[in-house]
Amino acid sequence: MMIVGLTGGVGSGKTTVAKMFNKIGIPIYIADLEAKKLMNSSKVIKRKLTQLFGEKAYKEGKLNKPFLANKIFNDKDLLVKMNAIVHPKVRSHFNKWIEKQDTPYVIKEAAILFENGGYKECDYIITVTASIEDRMQRVILRDNTTIEKVKAIMDNQWSDAEKVKLSHFVIDNNNLYQTENQVKNIHQQLLKLLINPKF
């Protein structure tokens, strides 16, 4: 089965694009969401994260997201160590999920697909882009957060230019109607690539 990676910087609209692919019948694996679920359910991950961050990593048995976010976005070394704990489990979970799918291709949506090397396991990559201003505004409204915190997240992600260089398709997500047309167009191209790969 063909694996298509879907990525983009924070606030670019990856999840919106993923939903559009899902609407036309393509199964979507949202890696960030599954990672959060595993961080709450896996005893191994819980133990390792508590060793790494201390007892405050979990609050009443649930992941203490504000505490972790503050830690990792001010310390890239901690972020790398956390990803090394979580991502192998997510990869294993994804491989089990993919076995249950029965479609020409699936989409794996991940914010740090390039940063964690996950793009190497995909046949094709779609990167979603949007202006920095739009992305900032979306995240501030969505997460009720500050410009400083959004900038800290952006600083830990590759730039759009770096991602686009390694991508097979780019979706410019500044207008929902146009975005939907781009999704339909890429879907048709992917179906053709199943028959005749050209990249």
Predicted confidence (pLDDT) per residue in 25-73, tens digit? 999 999 999 999 999 999 999 999 999 999 999 999 899 998 998 888 7
Parallel, antiparallel, or unpaired: how do β-strands 62-63 and 58-59 relate?
antiparallel
Give the domain 1-27+105-192 fold. Rossmann fold (3.40.50)
Nearest to 167 by CA among 126, 122, 110: 126
Distance CA 107, CA 30 (A): 8
Mean per-residue pLDDT, 66-93: 89
Give 134-154 pLDDT, tens digit per residue.
999 999 988 888 888 888 888
What pLDDT does 198 receive? 67
The reply to whether 33-100 shares the fold of 1-27+105-192 is: yes
Whether the full predicted model's pTM is greater than 0.85, yes or no, is: yes
CATH number for 33-100 (one of 3.40.605.10, 3.40.50.300, 3.90.470.20, 3.40.50.720): it is 3.40.50.300
Beta strand pairing status for 62-63 and 105-109? unpaired
CA atoms within 13 A on the CB side of 108: 27
Q: Distance between CA atoms of 76 and 99, rounded to whole angstroms? A: 34
- CA distances to 4, 5, 44, 81, 95 from 106, rounded to whole Å, are 6, 9, 28, 28, 11
Q: What is the average pLDDT score of the chain?
A: 92
User: What ranges do the domains of the chain cover?
Assistant: 1-27+105-192, 33-100
Environment class of 127 (CB within 10 Å of its CB; exposed 0-12, middle 13-18, buried 19+): buried
Round to whole Å and give the CA distance between 36 and 51: 18
- Residues forming beta bridges with residue 29, ordered by sequence position: 108
